[in-house]
């Protein structure tokens, strides 16, 4: 979904759309339902958007996948990339808007929405607050019950070390 900046009328544009967003190469696209308002002031373009998307995230501890609904709410200003380095930098620092650039008089709404979705996805996600995670030694999902690896419970930081020890032992034999 691309928009030509000179085509944006004075009264602005409004778009409601379902946009497929692919967060990484291996994932299926998820559909973002967005409502977007686009305003133009000369070459400056202001985009306001709200929307909703449900993304698939992996639990940071047990790697189980779960669906995470996200609300999108953004307000971003776009300037032409050409010549932007020289002009108006002082003006811009006073602005509290997020600032981005567009090229060749063209704005790719799908790309803009994707960036916003990426910003909205938390760095760490847990399937539940008290997720026990995986055993560092045997990989068992500890939410389903304990495994027999007692020594690992004491200090998970030593796990890579004992793994190394074990692989060294295996090599000698
Ligand atoms: Zn989990
Ligand atoms: Zn274990």
Segment 114-170, tens digit of pLDDT: 999 999 998 899 989 999 999 989 999 999 998 988 654 455 666 666 666 667 766
- Whole-number Å distance, alpha carbon 143 to ligand 1 midpoint, is 8
160 and 114 both lie in a single domain: no
- Parent domain of 148: 142-172
115 and 151 both lie in a single domain: no
Q: Is residue 153 part of a domain?
A: yes
Q: Which ligand sits closest to the CA of 65?
A: 1
Indicate the number of domains in the chain: 2
Contact 121, 57 (CB under 8 A): yes
101 and 20 both lie in a single domain: yes
The predicted-structure confidence for 20-75, as pLDDT tens digits, reads as follows 998 877 778 899 999 999 999 999 999 999 999 999 889 999 999 988 999 999 99
Q: Which ligand sits closest to the CA of 126?
A: 1
Which tokens sit at 19? 């946009």
Q: Is residue 136 part of a domain?
A: no
How confident is residue 7, by pLDDT bands cut at 50, 70 and 90? Answer: very high
Residue with tokens 């977007």: 36
d(CA 58, CA 127): 8
58 and 107 both lie in a single domain: yes
Q: Is residue 128 part of a domain?
A: no
Residue with tokens 């070459």: 43
SS3 label, residue 91: helix
- Whole-number Å distance, alpha carbon 30 to ligand 1 midpoint, is 22
27 and 87 both lie in a single domain: yes
- Whole-number Å distance, alpha carbon 64 to ligand 1 midpoint, is 6
Q: Is residue 51 part of a domain?
A: yes
The predicted-structure confidence for 88-117, as pLDDT tens digits, reads as follows 554 555 455 678 899 999 999 999 999 999
33 and 82 both lie in a single domain: yes
Instruction: List the one residue out of 105, 113, 103 whose CA is nearest residue 40.
Output: 105
Q: Which ligand sits closest to the CA of 162?
A: 2
- Whole-number Å distance, alpha carbon 26 to ligand 2 midpoint, is 29
């Amino acid at each position: 979904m691309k928009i030509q900046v000179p085509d944006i009328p004075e009264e602005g544009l409004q778009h409601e759309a379902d946009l497929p967003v692919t967060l990484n190469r291996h994932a299926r696209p998820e559909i973002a339902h967005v409502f977007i308002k686009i305003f133009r002031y000369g070459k400056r373009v202001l985009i306001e958007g709200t929307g909703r998307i449900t993304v698939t995230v992996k639990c940071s501890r047990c790697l189980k996948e779960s669906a995470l609904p996200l609300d999108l709410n953004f307000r971003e200003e776009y300037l032409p990339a050409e010549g932007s380095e020289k002009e108006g930098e002082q003006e811009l620092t006073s602005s509290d808007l997020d600032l981005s650039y567009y090229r060749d008089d063209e704005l790719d709404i799908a790309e803009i929405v994707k960036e916003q979705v990426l910003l909205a996805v938390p760095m760490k996600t847990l399937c539940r607050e008290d997720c026990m995670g995986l055993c560092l030694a045997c990989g068992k999902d500890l939410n389903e019950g304990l495994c027999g690896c007692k020594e690992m419970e004491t200090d998970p930081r030593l796990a890579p070390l004992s793994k190394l020890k074990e692989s060294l032992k295996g090599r000698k034999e």
